[in-house]
Amino acid sequence: MAFTIDLTGKVAVVTGAASGIGAGIAAALRQAGAIVEGCDITPGAGITVTDITDDAATTAFIQQAGARHGKIDILVSCAGANVFKGAADCTPAEWEGNLQLNLTAHWNLALQCKTFLEAAGSSVIIIISSNHAFATIPGCFPYNIAKTALTGLVRSLAIEWSPAIRTIGLAPGFIDTPGNQQWFNSFPDPEAERNRTIAMHPVKQLGTPAEIGAWCVFMSSEHAAFASGTTYLIDGGRSALLQEEG
């Protein structure tokens, strides 16, 4: 018999579902049979417009989604944004805004969902972190601080809310999103910059939102029942490379 993952009857909440990785996750979960409640600050088909840094708006979104289905089986806390500054020129407002979106909002969202996740019986929280939680480059502060702290959030929720709720982190490396294409486009020769980036990865490709979606499908299934408390780095082998060759 073929190995299949069927999430029919599961209810998933995905934040940041309008674009990039979140859109890929929502599509993959739907493909596996789950009902997806997506939110974003950017409007889109099947998206509830919600700013996850706004407590009242987040509460309203989760209460409505939870009440509609009576439970939440899968929470994928994905919405986030780069705040890339130098440690010396980051303003207090940028520091606060980054922590609010890339750290506090993940905790608040998990809190808002807790009762509905418990109602599901066996549920999972997936927090989308970043390879910047493991290593970083100059000028990517304070984004890397928030993403590193998410590793601790994953651990705490996993040990305090188990066994009803598993919590895991997924830390993508370079994913081929519209945002990263915009970054390539900022170079005089975007195609050359794309190829240079690909060459830096041992697997000689970039990751895709669909692949991160597939990780979420697996992590949401009964096959991943032993996975909790860990943040998994998915970076095409990039972090295994000590320094560029030649």
Ligand X SMILES: NC(=O)c1ccc[n+]([C@@H]2O[C@H](COP(=O)([O-])OP(=O)(O)OC[C@H]3O[C@@H](n4cnc5c(N)ncnc54)[C@H](O)[C@@H]3O)[C@@H](O)[C@H]2O)c1
Residues in contact with ligand X by CB under 6 A are: 15-16, 18-22, 40-42, 50-53, 78-81, 101, 128, 130-131, 172, 174-175, 177-180
Q: Which is nearer to ligand X, 29 or 78 (CB)?
A: 78
Q: Which is nearer to ligand X, 49 or 87 (CB)?
A: 49
Tell the smallest beta-carbon distance from residue 8 to ligand X (Å): 26
Q: How far is CA 48 from CA 38, 78, 171, 200, 241, in A?
A: 6, 15, 25, 38, 41
Q: Which is nearer to ligand X, 63 or 162 (CB)?
A: 63
Q: Which residue is nearest to ligand X (CB)?
A: 20
Angle at 124 between CA 230 and CA 36, to 5 degrees: 130
Q: Which is nearer to ligand X, 16 or 213 (CB)?
A: 16
Q: How far is CA 214 from CA 31, 92, 234, in A?
A: 10, 37, 12
Q: Which is nearer to ligand X, 187 or 223 (CB)?
A: 187
Tell the smallest beta-carbon distance from residue 155 to ligand X (Å): 18
Tell the smallest beta-carbon distance from residue 94 to ligand X (Å): 14
Tell the smallest beta-carbon distance from residue 2 to ligand X (Å): 30
Tell the smallest beta-carbon distance from residue 49 to ligand X (Å): 9
